[in-house]
């Protein structure tokens, strides 16, 4: 059940992606509405992070294309923000909370330019929104998991984008942080920002999202939460393992077989 819409903010057309030669996403075709809080749901290895990374242009596509606001990625980069998984970076890196959030401004600053006063103000404002103002001079190595995630969110806020892609922002954070993040995402969505979140916990899906994407190597469903978050579709996403598809993928990887001519 894939709900297609008119004037989508993101349009994904027949997308296939391989990761280290192994196909992980097959023929994903969907369109997403503006200003919604959208969850990407699916089991481990379903290709949720891969979907985000391919939209962000971080991994090459085997086939298909992606339009954001009707344009290719390169033309709208300043309007989108990406929050990688917290574990993807080394938190022992010698820098402060303030400096990490300032990285959110680098896209606008461009090469060879130093941050201006307005950038500093945006950084402080972003830190305020995630409740981390008091930690601005703290070494990032001294932060807890929840605080690290807040810093990453503040960095995304500092980008002042219209569309946000977040890879597992709720993974390994404390209950207070999870609540704070949800409230923040809601208020962003209320300002007509589109927020797309990779999410793991089925229990909270119905409470958090307006729209969900059910994914398991292929697109199972995409649509409003009321219509899409159904036992049948969840069963299709989680239950019936697509063993044949997995075996084919493994075979392609092993033989280094091109999955497109």
Partner 1 sequence: MWENAIDFFSFTDANVIYVVLGTIILGASAAVVGSFTFLRKRALIGDAIAHSILPGICIAFILGGTKNYAFLIIGAFISGWISILLVDYITKKSKLKEDTAIGLILSVFFGVGILLMTYIQQSGNAEQTGLNYFLFGKAASMVGQDVIVFSVISVILIITVFLFYKELQLISFDEAFAQSIGIRVKLISFILSSLTVLAVVTGIQAVGVVLMAALLITPFAAARYWSGYLPRILILAAIIGGFSGFSGTYISYIAPNMPTGPWVVMVLSVIALISIVFAPKKGIVSRWFKQRKYRRLIQDENILKAFFQIAESNESFGEPKSVAMIRKKRYYSDRLINRIFKRLKRQGFLKQSASGYYLSKFGQRKAARLVKLHRLWELYLTEYLRIAPDHVHEDADTIEHLITPELEKKLEEKLNYPKADPHNSQIPYDN
Q: Which residues bind partner 1 (CB under 8 A)?
A: 53, 56-58, 74, 77-78, 80-82, 84, 88-90, 93-96, 99-100, 103, 106-107, 109, 111-112, 114, 139, 141, 155, 159
User: How many residues would you count in the chain?
Assistant: 261
Quote the CA–CA distance of 154 and 101 in Å, as a whole number: 6
Which is closer to partner 1, CB of 157 or CB of 233?
157
Shorter beta-carbon distance to partner 1: residue 55 or 212: 55
Least spacing, CB of residue 229 vs partner 1, in Å: 29
Nearer to partner 1, 82 or 229 (CB): 82
Residues 6+ apart with CB under 8 A from 238: 42, 43, 216
Name the helix (H) or strand (E) containing 155.
Answer: helix 145-158
C-alpha–C-alpha distance, residues 122 and 100, integer Å: 13
User: 72: helix, coil or strand?
Assistant: coil
Q: Which is nearer to partner 1, 114 or 207 (CB)?
A: 114
Whole-number minimum distance, CB 42 to partner 1, in Å? Answer: 20
Least separation in angstroms between CB 120 and partner 1: 14
3-state secondary structure of 57: coil
- Which CB atom, from 155 or from 199, has the smaller least distance to partner 1? 155
Whole-angstrom distance, CA of residue 194 vs CA of residue 160:
12
CB of 102 to partner 1, least distance (A): 9
């Amino acid at each position: 059940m894939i709900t297609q819409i008119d004037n989508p903010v993101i349009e994904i057309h027949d997308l296939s992606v391989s990761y280290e030669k192994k196909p992980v996403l097959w023929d994903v075709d969907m369109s997403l509405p503006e200003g919604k809080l959208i969850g990407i749901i699916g089991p481990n290895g379903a290709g949720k992070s891969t979907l985000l990374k391919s939209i962000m242009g971080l991994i090459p596509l085997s086939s298909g294309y992606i339009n954001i606001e009707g344009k290719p990625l390169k033309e709208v980069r300043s309007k989108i923000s990406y929050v990688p998984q917290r574990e993807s970076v080394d938190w022992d890196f010698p820098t402060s909370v303030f400096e990490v959030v300032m990285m959110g401004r680098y896209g606008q600053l461009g090469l060879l330019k130093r941050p201006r006063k307005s950038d500093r103000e945006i950084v402080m404002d972003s830190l305020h929104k995630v409740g981390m103002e008091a930690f601005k001079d703290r070494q990032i190595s001294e932060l807890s998991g929840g605080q690290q995630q807040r810093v990453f969110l503040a960095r995304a806020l500092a980008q002042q984008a219209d569309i946000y892609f977040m890879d597992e922002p709720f993974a390994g954070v404390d209950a207070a942080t999870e609540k704070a993040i949800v409230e923040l995402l809601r208020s962003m969505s209320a300002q007509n920002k589109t927020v797309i979140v990779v999410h793991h916990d089925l229990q909270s899906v119905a409470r958090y999202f307006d729209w969900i994407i059910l994914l398991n190597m292929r697109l199972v469903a995409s649509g409003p939460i009321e219509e899409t978050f159904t036992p049948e579709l969840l069963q299709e996403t989680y239950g019936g393992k697509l063993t044949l598809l997995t075996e084919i993928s493994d075979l392609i990887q092993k033989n280094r077989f091109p999955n497109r001519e």
